[in-house]
Chain A
């Protein structure tokens, strides 16, 4: 008689797998990467390549050094690298900053906390903030698009900077297509929306989390400025929509409950708004995510479901 496997139930599993989820995120980021390359030139691809390779390599080498099981096969390091790259301007001359950012994201924010699932903060957002604080000059601002109808943007000023200084904004069409200054992945709203739809259809993310975040910023801006025009530009500019879809929805560093994720999104929206309106930085998205990451466990606890028939402990 052959030996039968004896194991705990259940004996079947859904088709979902962690590597497939990460692959889905990579697929969703693909149109954005392509758009970035078209808008900002091949230099954008170089930045993407540097970040992805150095992220994956960092994790690979770290696992070897600490003798941990190899985890690069779950694609999460590649996702982190790509998201970080898309958060940076297309400037290959700052290649060493890209590498520092990637190594920081993977080693300091992720691996040192125990690897996938154990980090409390979003690696890409944290690395971006780290780079912003450390090297304001090089990577802080945006890049000029190759084709643009607004003269202002030739200088590489992002619409947020233009908006704050009261200059003329690129047209809504240019904003949607991404023909404006900014980081590689944050400008082409159309490409981001394609990625968003893909992730929702594949059930990787809940549709409401990004919407709640965007709506929060929109409404607050509307209240303060009393202008649809400004509120619209507030949400379309900077890395807001990109972050809404790909960073506010991160699994590891946000509350596990669906309602908790919504509160998280509102919090991010609020902090982004405060930083943009009253802070020193024109862009507040990464900061807000980082700050809310710290609050995540508390939100999670607050929003935990009441078990069926469970008495209050």
Chain B
């Protein structure tokens, strides 16, 4: 195991809910399920208003290879199909379903029959599984690296490095059986020589439990990651567990790796047993404006507001509410918006925490440079963005490797002058995309 590790930023842990088993929420009155909850083409709606649906009924068909199907998360009646504004600024179709409160599972659902990799891959695709750790990349597409015969190592991401979030911790503790079954599936259908769990050292219980259940499996290793941020970032995790570096513009599969989140893995095993697709999500509800922080299992498409009410509501007025953790989470316009497949937390911050910090000039202190796990110099991006001449700007941004920025947030977090570094990097990336397209 490597002794030198990347990702050394000390962000607070605030894992208040680590000891709390998830509580299943009762059926919501209605759910709004967007067709784009993954990277790739949005699914296409297959139901119409008035249709009767069950838990697990297909309501959106995957479009193309990089896409994922979408299923109903409640039993009830389709009310309408509407346009939904995503936080990316794009719109997609969304299905509004009124629940009958029964949560009846679709009678047509049966466990998939899987005997070889192709059937396995098809089942994963049909399950609607996308990367639950964050970006929502369709899992089936990722696992198809097997077809090229390149998968040598599978890395199971249990780092959970974001403050507050403990839903993966609960999976590791409460669904250990499914993790064992999931590993058996991967061992059966993929040809990896090695399977490595990467878990932050603040999750002692998880590390001990997994080491115990896999003590007789020589292929499986549990690696302890430092409890500094961002251990869960894909490229950092790959480096810290295997020493491999994913080159610029390449995918993990290009260095023989597939990274999968622990909760995705546990879901996969459950799906193979029951055939119920991805329709509910365990998520952590926490933050300075939340009265009772807890882990909740909620149907996908439930409104954030309803989930927060279920936990007991706010302790004080919220100034900002996030999908995900405070380092990489996305702030939402309205809590009437639904949760998605890859929502692993709802963090509601009080007004004081949400208030913008005072910005000052960059003092060239170098904290952002030391903090960047990718070895970038964030001050260069900010400087380059001031260049008027677009050709030179493109050159400078490319030379400073803007596309390697993983938007982890370390630089902005450590900056004493509260420079909006990550925001600038996003603008710079968009700028580079536009300018390169024009070329």
Contact = CB atoms under 8 A, between A and B. Distances in A.
Contacts, number: 164
B393 to A, nearest CB: 15
B360 A13 contact: no
Q: How large is the interface on B (under 10, 10 to 19, 20 to 34, 35 or more residues)?
A: 35 or more
Contact of B414 (A16, A19, A306, A307): A16
Given A11-B322, A117-B363, A20 B416 contact: yes
Interface string A1-42: 110111111111110111111000000000000000000000
B398 A313 contact: yes
Contacts of A257: 366, 369, 377
Contacts of A313: 398-399, 401
A4 B321 contact: yes
Interface in A56-96: 71, 74, 76
Interface string B220-243: 000000000000000100010000
B375 A310 contact: yes
Interface stretch (B93-101, B292-300, B417-425): B417-425
A19 B359 CA distance: 11
Residue of A9, A10, A16, A304 with highest tally of chain B CB at under 10 A: A10
B90 to A, nearest CB: 16
A229 B365 CA distance: 36
A309 B422 contact: no
A14 B379 CA distance: 18
Interface residues of A, number: 42
A309 B407 CA distance: 16
Contacts of B319: 4-5
Interface in B357-376: 357-358, 360-367, 369-370, 373-376
Nearest to A6: B331
A194 interface: no
Contacts of B308: none
Contacts of A5: 319-320, 331, 354-356
Contacts of B370: 258
B388 to A, nearest CB: 16
A310 B360 contact: no
Contact of A10 (B6, B328, B358, B367): B328
Contact of B163 (A12, A13, A21, A261): A12
Contacts of B358: 17
Nearest 6 CB-CB pairings of A with B: A10-B409, A8-B423, A16-B416, A305-B375, A117-B361, A11-B326
